[in-house]
Amino acid sequence: MEINAREKNDVVIFDITGEIRRSDITDLTLHQLVKDQLDSGKRNILLNFESVEFIDSFGVGEILASYISTNNLGGKLKIAKISKKLYLVFQVTMLTKVLEIFDDEQVALKSFLKE
């Protein structure tokens, strides 16, 4: 898994590439990267899943932990460009009931402005 961060307006976008799985644990997890942004005062986080091929239960836990940390600080965490295969994982784990998921990054970015 590789994660690159970029900013547009007041939204931090994490471009995630590869597989989000337990075997990919490094010093910095997705949740830790999100927490680092929250600690620096950023409150709007968008996870770009366009290049994510697979996610396991560890990855689901990372996303949920990131959502909870963001929400607890009054921020918003949203998902963009998720594949149909991964969307099914999100449905089974009920993440679709918790997270806002967008097909288009620009639409997702605009949704932050409406709040």
pLDDT digits (tens, 9 = 90+) for 81-90: 999 999 999 9
pTM of the predicted model, to two decimals? 0.93
Task: Output the pLDDT for position 96.
Answer: 94
Q: Parse the chain into domains and list their residue ranges.
A: 2-113
Query: Average pLDDT, stretch 89-110?
Result: 95
Question: What gap in Å lies between CA 29 and CA 66, rounded to an integer?
Answer: 10
Instruction: Tell me the CATH architecture of domain 2-113.
Output: 2-Layer Sandwich (3.30)
